[in-house]
Amino acid sequence: MKPEVPVFMTRVECPVCKTVNEYATIKMGAYTENGRDTDFCPTGRVWRNQKYQHVNPLLYFMAACSSCFYTREFNKTFKEWKSDSAFRSFRQKIIREKHLNMLASPDGLIKPLGIALDPENAPQETAITKLLLGILEEKMLERPSDLDLGRWYVRIAWIFREMAGGSKTKFGAEQIQKARLQTMLKSLRESFGHCERQMDDIQGLIDERPGAEDPCRSALGGWRSSLNPVLKSVDDLLSWQDQDMPRSAASPDDESAVVAFGGYASFDAFLHAIAGQNPEIPRNEREAVLLSLHHYRRAYEESRDVSGGNQKIQVAYMIGELARRAGEIDQAEQYFNVAIRAGHEFIYKHSQDRARTALARKILEMAIERLHECRDAGKTAS
C-alpha cells in the first residue's frame, strides 16, 4: 500500500503580485512528537510516512510566494485575506509598495533570501529562510507585532537546535555559565568602546589647540597605548568564547554535513553574508534566542499583542526561559517569578474550571522548576 501523502494543498492568491500559489498544510495526525523541551521546542518526531522523516514541520509554517517571495505565516488570516475588507482597503497597497521596493533594491534581502529557497534539497535551511522572509515583511509594517517576531525567532532557534542534532536541548550549569561570561565580555567590550569614542572626542579638541607640547596630547597617547592591549585581549577572549560555545549546525570538519545554499559553500556562509546587511539576521541558535527574547520582552512590557490569562503567563515564562538560555539569570528569575504570581492568580480566580486552567497549571509547574534551576546555577557559579 502506497504511503499517504501527509500534506494537502491550498490555493491562495498573493496579495502583492496576484500569483496564485499552492501551499502545503500538514494533515492532522501526520506525525507524532516525542516530547517538548523547556522552551516548548519539539525534541523529536515520527512521521507516519517515513519519506518525510527528515522534514521539520516548520517548513510549512510560512507561505512564500513563488514569484515575488512575499511571505506570511500560513494561518487563517493569510488564507482569507481577500475577505478582509480592512486589509484590502487600508493595508494591501502600502504592503505591496514596500515589498516591491525592497525586492527591487540592490541592497534588499528579499531577493537573495527568496531565490535561495530549496525545500527539496535543504528543507531545514529553507524553513529558517522562510521565517526570515516573514520577519522582514513584519518589520516593514507601520506597527510590527513584537509577539509574532518573538514567536518566529524562537522557531528559528528550534530549527538551529535540530540541525545541531539536538545537542543544545538541555542547558545545564556549564552552558549557562558560558553564556553569562559571553554576555559580560560583550558588555565590557562596549564599555571600552565608549572609552575609545570619548578619547576620539578629546583628540578632536586637542587637535584644534596649538602647541605640540600640550600635556593633554601626551596623556592621551599614554591612555591609548594602555588601552589597546586590553581591547585586543577582550576581543581575543570574545573570539575564543564564540568558538567554545556549542555549535548550532554541523561541524565544518564534517564535510558530508556541509551543503551549499544560496550560491554559497554552506548555509552558515550564506547567513554570515546576509547578516552583514541586517543585524537582526541570526546566524545560530544563540543569536535567534537573543532576538526572540528582545521581542517577547518588548511585547510584554509595552502590553502590545499580549492578552491576559494563559497568554500573559506563557509569555512571561518564555521571557524567563529565553533569558535563562542567554545567561541573563537575574532577568530569568524575575520573569519566572512574574509567571508564577500570574499563574497562581489565574488558577485561583478560575479554580472551578480545570480545563481553563490546565495550561496555566502546566506553565506554573515549569516556571517553578526553571526558577530552582536558575538558583542552583547561581550557587554553582558563585
Q: In this structure, are residues 24 and 63 in contact, taking their beta carbons and an 8 Å threshold? A: no
Cα–Cα distances in Å, from 227 out to 194, 224, 233? Answer: 12, 5, 10
* Residue that the C-alpha cell 600640550 belongs to: 214
User: pLDDT by residue (tens digit) across 102-136?
Assistant: 999 999 999 999 999 999 999 999 999 999 999 99
Residue 231 burial (C-beta neighbours within 10 Å; 0-12, 13-18, 19+) = middle
pLDDT for the residue numbered 254: 47
In this prediction, residues 145-173 reach a mean pLDDT of 82
**pLDDT > 90? residue 380:** no
**pLDDT > 70? residue 214:** no
C-alpha cell at 246: 556549542
Q: Would you call 249 helix, strand, or coil by DSSP?
A: coil
pTM: 0.78
**pLDDT > 50? residue 251:** no
**Using 50, 70 and 90 to split pLDDT, how confident is the model at 168?**
very low
pLDDT for the residue numbered 212: 54
φ, ψ (nearest 5 deg) of residue 33: -95, 145
CA distance 278 to 154: 18
User: pLDDT by residue (tens digit) across 18-64?
Assistant: 999 999 999 999 999 999 999 999 999 999 999 999 999 999 999 99
CA distance 163 to 285: 10
CA distance 68 to 81: 17
User: pLDDT by residue (tens digit) across 220-247?
Assistant: 778 878 888 887 887 777 777 665 554 4
pLDDT for the residue numbered 182: 62
